[in-house]
Amino acid sequence: MSQPAPHTGRRADLDWIRIAALALLILYHVSLAYTPWDWHLNSSHRFVWMEEVTLLSSPWRLTLLFFVSGAALRLMSRRLVAGQVLKARFARLAPPFLFGVLFLIPPQSWAEAFGKGSFSGNMGEWWLKEFSPAGIADGIPINHLWFVLYIGVYSLAAIALLARPGLLARIEAFLDRILGGWRVLLLPILYLAIVRQLLFPWFGLTNRLPVDWYNHASSLAVFLLGFALVGREGFWRQLERVRWVAAAAALTSVVLLMGLHLHPEGRMLWGSLRNGAFAITQWSTVAAVLGFGSLYLRSADGPVCRYLNEAIFPCYLAHQTILVLAVFFLGPLKLPALPEALLFIALTFGGSLLVYEAVRRIEFIRPLWGLKPSPGAGKDNGRPNRLSMTVASALGPERAYRRRRALLVIGMASPVLAILSVLTAVAAYPGFNHATQFLSELGGATARAPGIFNGGVMISGIAAAVAGIGFGLAAVTLGGSRIASALLTLCFVLAGIGLVISGLYVWPDPRHLWVNLGLGIILAPLFLIWCLSPVTGVRRLKLFLVAVCFAMAALALITNHMVLPGTVNPANVGLWERLFAIVLVSWTGIAAYCLERALFRLADSNGAGKQSLAEA
């Protein structure tokens, strides 16, 4: 029996394994779009042989991830008591899970329902339906976030063991002893084969926590195995010794598994041969990966490893939403299978990393994406105390304020760009009737130069999303509320996404209705008021925002015929749309200017002591 090794907090081999596992997961999810199975959305190209391709990783991929997750939890908790681990785990997993359920999963669900013909409304309508009392009662989809939920629940079991150090030490010693020699391969295979034979035919693999008993029996077991044995060097030495045998067993068994899957007699003997081959592939692959990784990658740390290791969680959260939307919007183009698949892969990998690059730079939304506070980010992070300080007393680096101000300049330019594109498109559309025609018709089939309007809409959307980051950073600098600032940024980013998609899919394409995401800007003034509530030097801006809220609420009620029915009619609907659009767009430019001036004065006050800000 080996002695426990000191926990060092990180192991580069486990980091690289987790990075590779996420990359493999993305490829696996792309492959599901081409299988005969009914995935969220499928490509028009579907191949029966893709079922065999998925067998190359499906038996062992999640087993490896659960083992590494359990090991990582133990390394993270090396100098913490159970209560501290519980608090840290909740802070790491709960915000991204809730954020994902509310904002990352609904686009997937909407695209699936719309693409399969079970829902014809826009994204906003789907969101309201999904989170209505009836929708909640029917069950809220969590899609790929089931893994985050399971890790959270399994962590409770591990933390319970952590609270009993004597019991945990005995379990470690017992597992280390019985898994010595060849038993490190044979016993886990035997356990996994029995579990699959007895439970899988009854429960299957549901990814639904209350009824997923086969998954719990296998995944929880390997999670706790990783948690218990990551610090036992004898266990790792055994994996290193059997690595080649494990690799040979994995290769042989996966070929056998494919054969049994194809052969009509593959279910003979109550499926025991197939289940046995599955279990051999499942653990022998994991053992080979862990053994080779421990031997060759333990000291392979470096900036690339650390960068990708931090990017894993945000990329996991984002990747499936990006992929499903890519299939939804680009699938109808019916590209050849190989270019289409490569495009989906590039968009999913690239888009996920772009999301990470964006969110890691915005301190107040990092927790929503599973990221810890950036190094050096203090409790106040250079921001004022909301309860006792005015804007004038909040000192911060002038250089950072200049970056925030530059983003706000984009916010000032965004409505100007939108208005100019509309005016130019109108000039290129002789006979356009402002009273009876919608703005979207400027980019539709009847327009002579639709690219002017559609291009302007997309550029304005990108500018709005970028400006939203500036709004959020300025708001958190001035007022200190991270939650309100994150919600403020989200309003702008969603609006930008809606505008870009509406420019790509012109009226009357149903996907053009994604432009309605821009209506989230109606809520943005409320979040900005929330952010600025403790600030004493921006009274005029607050009054302006209150007036904007009332104006947009009134226009929303009137144009949706909820009050004063008949006021909006086919003879004047275009004029009402213009009025709503002007209010919706123009306030952002004015607010961006006021915030930029406030930040300028704040930066100017740095080094000058406490100085009152002029009215913004």
Contacts of 488 (CB under 8 A, 6+ apart): 468, 471, 472, 475, 524, 527, 528, 531
pLDDT digits (tens, 9 = 90+) for 370-380: 998 876 554 44
CA distances from 316 to 18, 25, 396, 525 (A): 11, 9, 34, 31
CA distances from 346 to 23, 32, 39, 245, 545 (A): 12, 16, 20, 35, 41
DSSP conformation class of 372: P
- Dist CA 449 CA 430 (whole Å): 11
Residue 229 binned pLDDT confidence (cut-offs 50, 70, 90):
very high
**According to the model, what pLDDT value does residue 518 have?**
66
- Dist CA 289 CA 162 (whole Å): 27
Q: CA dihedral defined by 553, 557, 558, 559, rounded to 10 degrees?
A: 100
**According to the model, what pLDDT value does residue 614 have?**
35
- Dist CA 207 CA 163 (whole Å): 28
Structural contact between residues 475 and 498, judged by C-beta atoms closer than 8 angstroms:
no
Report helix, strand or coil for 581: helix
Enumerate the β-bridge partners of residue 232. Answer: 4
Structural contact between residues 68 and 21, judged by C-beta atoms closer than 8 angstroms:
yes
**According to the model, what pLDDT value does residue 605 have?**
60
Contacts of 280 (CB under 8 A, 6+ apart): 189, 193, 249, 250, 253
**According to the model, what pLDDT value does residue 9 have?**
60
**According to the model, what pLDDT value does residue 363 have?**
80
- Dist CA 538 CA 544 (whole Å): 10
Tell me if the bond preceding 332 is cis, omega within 30° of 0: no
Contacts of 420 (CB under 8 A, 6+ apart): 456
**According to the model, what pLDDT value does residue 474 have?**
87
Tokens linked to 177: 């002893």
Structural contact between residues 313 and 95, judged by C-beta atoms closer than 8 angstroms:
no
Report helix, strand or coil for 4: strand
Residue 583 binned pLDDT confidence (cut-offs 50, 70, 90):
confident
**According to the model, what pLDDT value does residue 147 have?**
97
Residue 232 main-chain phi, psi, to 5 deg: -100, 105
Q: Which of 600, 465, 455, 614 is nearest to 540 (CA)?
A: 614
Predicted confidence (pLDDT) at residue 391 exceeds the cutoff of 50: no
Find tokens 């904007």 and name the residue: 548
Determine the residue type at 496.
Answer: G
Which of 24-38, 104-118, 237-251, 398-412 has the least mean pLDDT?
A: 398-412
**According to the model, what pLDDT value does residue 197 have?**
94
Enumerate the β-bridge partners of residue 4. Answer: 232
**According to the model, what pLDDT value does residue 607 have?**
43
- Dist CA 462 CA 417 (whole Å): 11
Structural contact between residues 329 and 511, judged by C-beta atoms closer than 8 angstroms:
yes
Most trustworthy range by pLDDT among 110-114, 260-264, 412-416? 110-114
What DSSP letter does each residue of 419-469 carry, written as one string?
HHHHHHHHHTSTT--TTTS-GGGGGSTT-S-HHHHHHHHHHHHHHHHHHHH
Predicted confidence (pLDDT) at residue 295 exceeds the cutoff of 70: yes
Number of residues that make up the chain: 616
**According to the model, what pLDDT value does residue 398 have?**
44
Which of 138-152, 340-354, 412-426, 504-518 has the least mean pLDDT?
A: 504-518
Residue 305 binned pLDDT confidence (cut-offs 50, 70, 90):
very high
Contacts of 122 (CB under 8 A, 6+ apart): 513, 514, 516
**According to the model, what pLDDT value does residue 449 have?**
78
**According to the model, what pLDDT value does residue 2 have?**
52
pLDDT digits (tens, 9 = 90+) for 594-613: 888 888 777 666 444 333 33
pLDDT digits (tens, 9 = 90+) for 15-69: 999 999 999 999 999 999 999 999 999 999 999 999 888 989 999 999 999 999 9
Radius of gyration of the chain (CA): 28
pLDDT digits (tens, 9 = 90+) for 434-480: 788 887 888 877 777 788 888 888 888 888 888 888 888 888 888 87
**Mean pLDDT over each residue of the chain, to the nearest integer:** 85
Determine the residue type at 363.
Answer: E
Structural contact between residues 455 and 362, judged by C-beta atoms closer than 8 angstroms:
no
- Dist CA 179 CA 73 (whole Å): 21
Which ranges in 230-336 belong to alpha helices (H)? 233-241, 243-262, 272-296, 303-330
**According to the model, what pLDDT value does residue 385 have?**
35
Residue 264 binned pLDDT confidence (cut-offs 50, 70, 90):
low
Predicted confidence (pLDDT) at residue 250 exceeds the cutoff of 70: yes
pLDDT digits (tens, 9 = 90+) for 471-502: 888 888 888 778 888 888 888 888 888 888 88
**According to the model, what pLDDT value does residue 176 have?**
93
**According to the model, what pLDDT value does residue 148 have?**
96
Most trustworthy range by pLDDT among 227-231, 412-416, 503-507? 227-231
Cα 497–498–500 angle (5° rounding)?
Answer: 65
Average pLDDT over residues 151-172: 95
Predicted confidence (pLDDT) at residue 257 exceeds the cutoff of 50: yes
Determine the residue type at 154.
Answer: Y
- Dist CA 557 CA 341 (whole Å): 45
